[in-house]
């Protein structure tokens, strides 16, 4: 999230915020918080500034001050483009939300789209599309699919790996900028904007689609941006033809009772919860694979790949 680029509209406040950023990058979080507070005295309605102050206060160990700053962020920006509600939950000030704010996720990936492929694949060792495609290939013997629906398709990394096995390939994503990158690759037969966090009947897209159309539905590295996954399984069930496959990945919550919000502001899910969701949706689990899906701050992130089947 490029909140550092959002101006207060006050030149002096912006200048102090720039100095605060320099101090923070030099490791002086208390000094950064002090300067940021001064900037906010000049621009008290600057939501992005309060969010920056919260970050500096948290790094200074002043959790109550960080919580207050985040609450000011939400007061000034109720739609929560910065994900302040997620940060409040991580700091123990609120319950963990079942879903992140859609506007936060959309802005996050709109900002990230231009450098997404390079940053994720080359810098963070992201490998879910290849690994998920390999699991699918092992199960169906590398056979073709009549209709593939790629949920949360992003820039088309999974689409590129399944294209030669798909007669028709469609992709859906919340971010318009991500969809533009996917369209430029010429991989998909159809692309559309859609929000997976909404119930199918409220989405304006999934509720209107022809049911039982896909023999493969994928969600590669998407579900970690959702907490409660019940709606996604409803969407997958509606889209899948009898005998169709649902291929997806999650970050591994490693034995937790339910979904967990991580400091990365992504959700992790335990295998047992996914198994329960599959059973409730009438899907049969046919393959699971634990693997490292990317690196975060230099550390490996554990994930689980799943392949489930709708009864024929």
* pTM (predicted TM-score): 0.90
Task: Report pLDDT for 175.
Answer: 94
Cα–Cα–Cα angle for 91, 94, 96, rounded to 5 degrees: 90
Q: Say if residues 223 and 269 touch (Cβ distance below 8 Å).
A: yes
Rounded CA-CA distance 200/236 in Å is 10
Task: Report pLDDT for 211.
Answer: 74
Evaluate whether residue 87 is within a structural domain: yes
Cα–Cα–Cα angle for 95, 101, 105, rounded to 5 degrees: 130
Evaluate whether residue 244 is within a structural domain: yes
Rounded CA-CA distance 84/119 in Å is 24
Same-domain check for residues 22 and 83: yes
Same-domain check for residues 246 and 117: yes
Q: Say if residues 182 and 191 touch (Cβ distance below 8 Å).
A: yes
Same-domain check for residues 79 and 191: no
Domain count, the chain: 2
Same-domain check for residues 236 and 280: yes
Same-domain check for residues 123 and 271: yes
Residue where one domain finishes, among candidates 35, 64, 95: 95
Which parts of the chain sit beneath pLDDT 70? Answer: 1-5, 117, 119-123, 200-204, 207-209
Segment 63-121, tens digit of pLDDT: 999 999 999 999 999 999 999 999 999 999 999 999 999 999 999 999 877 877 676 66
Q: Say if residues 91 and 67 touch (Cβ distance below 8 Å).
A: yes
Same-domain check for residues 16 and 90: yes
Tell me phi and psi for residue 150, to 5 degrees.
Answer: -100, 105
Residue where one domain finishes, among candidates 95, 129, 146: 95
Residue 128: which domain range? 110-309
Rounded CA-CA distance 42/109 in Å is 31
Task: Report pLDDT for 130.
Answer: 93
Task: Report pLDDT for 123.
Answer: 67
Evaluate whether residue 100 is within a structural domain: no
The rounded Cα 4 to chain-centroid distance in angstroms is 21
DSSP-derived secondary structure letter, 118: I
Rounded CA-CA distance 115/257 in Å is 35
Segment 198-208, tens digit of pLDDT: 876 666 677 65
Q: Say if residues 230 and 277 touch (Cβ distance below 8 Å).
A: yes
Q: What is the CATH number of the domain that holds 33?
A: 1.25.40.10
Task: Report pLDDT for 204.
Answer: 61
Task: Please give the structure tokens belonging to residue 167.
Answer: 């007669």
175 forms beta bridges with none
Q: Is 58 exposed, middle or buried (0-12, 13-18, 19+ CB in 10 A)?
A: buried
């Amino acid at each position: 999230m490029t909140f550092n680029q959002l101006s207060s509209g006050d030149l002096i406040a912006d200048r102090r915020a720039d100095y605060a950023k320099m101090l923070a990058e030099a490791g002086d979080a208390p000094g950064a918080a002090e300067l940021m507070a001064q900037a906010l005295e000049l621009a008290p309605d600057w939501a992005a500034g309060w969010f920056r102050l919260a970050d500096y206060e948290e790094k200074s160990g002043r959790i109550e001050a960080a919580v207050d700053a985040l609450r000011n962020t939400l007061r000034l920006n109720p739609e929560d483009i910065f994900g302040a509600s997620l940060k409040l939950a991580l700091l123990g000030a609120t319950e963990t939300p079942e879903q992140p704010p859609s506007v936060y996720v959309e802005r996050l990936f709109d900002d990230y789209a231009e450098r997404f492929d390079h940053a994720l694949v080359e810098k963070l060792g992201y490998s879910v599309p290849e690994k998920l495609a390999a699991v699918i290939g092992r199960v169906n013997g590398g056979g073709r699919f009549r209709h593939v629906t790629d949920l949360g398709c992003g820039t088309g990394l999974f689409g590129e790996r399944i294209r030669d096995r798909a007669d028709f390939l469609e992709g859906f994503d919340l971010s318009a900028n991500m969809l533009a990158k996917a369209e430029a690759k010429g991989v998909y037969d159809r692309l559309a904007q859609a929000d997976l966090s909404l119930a199918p009947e409220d989405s304006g897209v999934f509720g209107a689609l022809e049911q039982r159309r896909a023999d493969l539905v994928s969600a590669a590295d998407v579900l970690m941006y959702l907490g409660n996954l019940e709606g996604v399984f409803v969407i997958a069930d509606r889209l899948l033809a009898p005998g169709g496959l649902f291929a997806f990945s999650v970050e591994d919550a490693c034995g937790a009772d339910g979904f967990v919000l991580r400091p990365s502001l992504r959700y992790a899910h335990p295998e047992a919860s996914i198994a329960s969701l599959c059973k409730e949706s009438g899907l049969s689990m046919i393959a699971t694979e634990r693997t490292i899906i990317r690196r975060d701050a230099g550390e490996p992130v554990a994930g689980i790949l799943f392949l489930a089947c709708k009864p024929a």
